[in-house]
Amino acid sequence: MIRTDAGCSVSRFAELVGVPRRTYHARLARLRAGDPPKGPWPAPVVDRIEPEVAKHAEAWPAWGYRKIAAITAADGCDVGSASSVKRAMARRGLLQPVRYQAERRQLAQARREAFVETPVRRNRVWQADFTQFETEAEGTWRLCPVVDYATKVALACPITPTQGATDLIAALQSAVDAAEALLGRTLIEDCTDPATGEIVPLVVVTDNGPAMKSVAVARWFAARSHLAHVRTRHRAPHTNGVVERWIESLKYERLYRHDIASGPDLADHVAAFIDEYNAVRPHQNLDQTPPLAAYLDNRTLKPNPPRNEQ
């Protein structure tokens, strides 16, 4: 035997080969009894589908193995069963981590902390969401507004043909750039407590769409210590109500009143509405003053608490 030839103790040999002592003794007993060793068994289906499954899993990193099985099959690959897809993804480390309940508890805690004290000044909470609008000649376009919770200022609303992680990141970066242009200083400076020097992270609230749950968006936030990301509870759109209300105003006060033929035409209308909304339109929750005035004054506003999560 290799162990005895090497002069190793059972404990040391089991440690070197990476198995528990009980497993070593169990396998040794089967070998002495003439039983064939167990596994690994051939997996021709997994071997065949692994490249195609990996391609789709890497393209859709927020999807679980069942969705990857469905899209791989729809692409013309005979995957056999979802369990085969799961094993193929496991080989390459592409499975979603089994921590959904823990993640939901953490997200719920983050949501509560974001609104434990209702934001009463600028750049404490932003809200972002995707919506869509169909033009007359060029089909449907996606919009991604980013709105400051306390002052209601619309900081960005890019127009794109898709609503992926790249589009969300571009909208958030546009909002950061717009905020810094309005303030005349960096956003991280505005998030720093002048008395203590402590950075109070700005919380960006989104829903649970695929882009919001993507690895790329998580990495974007991780690289910015002054920004934090929380997602709303499932089927609870009221927790993202400020941006939802802004979208409603955009559509009913502007877009639905015009014949909009193309994407550039839509972008012009959105830009015009943002200027009007921020600088001219009185807002009831701001004592009938425009949002931009409240944002630039940096005044403390009266609390406007959101509906509580149940």
Buried b (16+ CB within 10 A) or exposed e, 258-297: eebeebebbbebbeebbeebbeebebeebeebbbbbbbee
Condensed to tens digits (0 to 9), the pLDDT of residues 125-142 reads 999 999 999 999 999 999
Amino acid at 198: E
Q: How confident is the model at residue 310 (pLDDT cuts 50, 70, 90)?
A: very low
0.75 exceeded by pTM:
no
Condensed to tens digits (0 to 9), the pLDDT of residues 139-174 reads 999 999 999 999 999 999 999 999 999 999 999 999
Q: Does 70 have pLDDT greater than 90?
A: no
What pLDDT score does 120 carry? 75
What pLDDT score does 2 carry? 67
What own/partner pairs with CB < 8 Å and gap ≥ 24 does 86-94 have? 87/43, 87/46, 88/46, 88/49, 88/50, 88/53, 88/54, 89/53, 89/54, 89/57, 89/65, 91/46, 91/50, 92/50, 92/54, 92/57, 94/54, 94/57, 94/58, 94/61
Condensed to tens digits (0 to 9), the pLDDT of residues 92-123 reads 888 876 655 565 555 555 555 555 566 778 99
Candidates 231, 235, 227, 225; CA nearest to 212 is: 231
